[in-house]
Structure 1
Amino acid sequence: CLISKSDSMFYAVRKGRRTGVYRTWAECQEQVNKFPSASFKKFVTEKDAWAFVRGGLPAQQQQPEPAGDFAVVYTDGCCSSNGRNRARAGIGVYWGPGHPLNTSERLPGRQTNQRAEIHAACKAIEQAKSQNIKKLIIYTDSKFTINGITSWVDNWKTNGWRTSSGGSVINKDDFERLDNLTRGIEIQWMHVPGHAGFQGNEEADRLAREGATKQVS
């Protein structure tokens, strides 16, 4: 289940503690309340909200700003021929230009786009923990991953890892791993639109596509 446009408005913060697009006024308010010369606006569509955040900046500058003591990482997963026998999936993790933790790997196991998105986030969290990072912002273009870990997973666990309709959770093992990894670290999940000129997301996408061409390690 994807978030429909009627669920809420999109709150864009162009200048504040952390720039980006938020789904609730409360989240937006945290970034702009008492912030000098804060710039923010409410939109009906996510596309318009991100356009306001970018403010017409060239693509290389379209980068949400790090927030205080939070580390920032971009993750992405891709899969060519998704759903077919010849599918090849890869994961990409992007920390910054030339960063030693930047990762491009082939996805092990079942080759699907959704699994790749989840595993990319898992990899980023594992790396953050290895560096003793306590606060992490993960930018991903996968609403499925964000919804799964922030909303659906608690209901699945309550229902014995069953969906609300009683069916099996397709990516149960992957979400179990992600859920376990999120313990002991504070994570802010942020959605960023894919292929919209955001350098971090574009780099993570490139790394994921490269990973899909590699052999499983």
Structure 2
Amino acid sequence: MSKFYAVKIGKNPGIYNSWSECQQQVNGFKGAIFKSFKTKEEADNFINGEDNKKVASIDSLNENECVAYVDGSFKKDTGEYSFGCVLFHNGKIDKFNQKFPKSEFSTHRNVSGEVSGSVFAIKKAVELKMNKITIFYDYQGIESWANGDWKTNNYLTKSYKKFIDEIKPQIDINFVKVKGHSNDTYNDMADELAKEALGIGK
């Protein structure tokens, strides 16, 4: 079955009929955003649909504001966990991921990765001298532990809440929930980065 390759951000954004054509537009292009679809209509929606509003709003960020999409992953057989983070700042898109060895946090599975991703994004924003960060996440605890709506009853959640409380004076932190695995471009990208760190899906 033929596929359609939609390049949202690349050398020449558009819809391509082969993977090789798509590769020419994204290879070596930092922050490239692309995806394959079964129908041309889906590919067109990816480029021109709802997500484009997000791109527009990201492009209109103030100089000292940034947006991060974070997600976590877990590898059951090794106990390793990871995060993926897509960070928008100063007109740039940076992608990060990191895996962590089995530890006491492994009992929380991918949630440990999500928390680590949120912490990383906030630290990175402070390092970049940002005044404000908006974190898009798909696990409610990322926001609810941070703002005290959920009780922190273990070391992971307590240390996360402590980190948020201590860093709040340095940066304005906002949280936005997205539906997990709902074809949200950047949430999916963060998810893929987290899995990539663990060698999942290769």
TM-score (norm 2): 0.60
Aligned length: 142
2:68 is equivalent to residue 73 of structure 1: yes
2:172 is equivalent to residue 179 of structure 1: no
User: Cα distance, 1:170 vs. partner?
Assistant: 4.7
* Runs of 4 or more above 6 Å deviation: none
- Relative contact order, CA 8 A, sep 6+: which one is greater? 1
Q: For residues 179 and 115 of structure 1, what CA distance do their matches in structure 2 show?
A: 18
User: Cα distance, 1:93 vs. partner?
Assistant: 0.7
User: Cα distance, 1:104 vs. partner?
Assistant: 1.1
Q: For residues 195 and 120 of structure 2, what CA distance do their matches in structure 1 show?
A: 16
Structure 1: which 5+ residue stretches go unaligned? 1-56, 157-162
For 1:33, the equivalent position in structure 2 comes to: none
Q: For residues 198 and 182 of structure 2, what CA distance do their matches in structure 1 show?
A: 22
| Alpha-carbon distance change, 86 to 74 in structure 1, aligned in 2, over 3 angstroms | same
For 1:169, the equivalent position in structure 2 comes to: 154
User: Cα distance, 1:188 vs. partner?
Assistant: 1.3
Deviations along 1:135-160, whole A, 9 cap, x unmatched?
1111111111111112337xx6xxxx
- 8 A Cα contact 2:146 2:160, kept in partner: no
For 2:12, the equivalent position in structure 1 comes to: none
User: Cα distance, 1:100 vs. partner?
Assistant: 6.8
Q: For residues 115 and 175 of structure 1, what CA distance do their matches in structure 2 show?
A: 13
Deviations along 1:32-84, whole A, 9 cap, x unmatched?
xxxxxxxxxxxxxxxxxxxxxxxxx8245443333642321111111132xxx
User: Cα distance, 1:211 vs. partner?
Assistant: 1.7
Q: Which has the higher helix share?
A: 2
| Alpha-carbon distance change, 188 to 144 in structure 1, aligned in 2, over 3 angstroms | same
Which of 122, 126, 144 is equivalent to 2:123? Answer: 126
Question: Alignment partner of 1:133: what SS?
Answer: coil
Q: What is the percent sequence identity of the aligned residues?
A: 20
2:90 is equivalent to residue 105 of structure 1: no
Which amino acid letter does the alignment assign opposite residue 114 of structure 2? E
- 8 A Cα contact 1:78 1:116, kept in partner: yes
User: Cα distance, 1:178 vs. partner?
Assistant: 3.6
Q: Which has the higher strand share?
A: 2
Question: Alignment partner of 2:145: what SS?
Answer: helix
TM-score (norm 1): 0.57
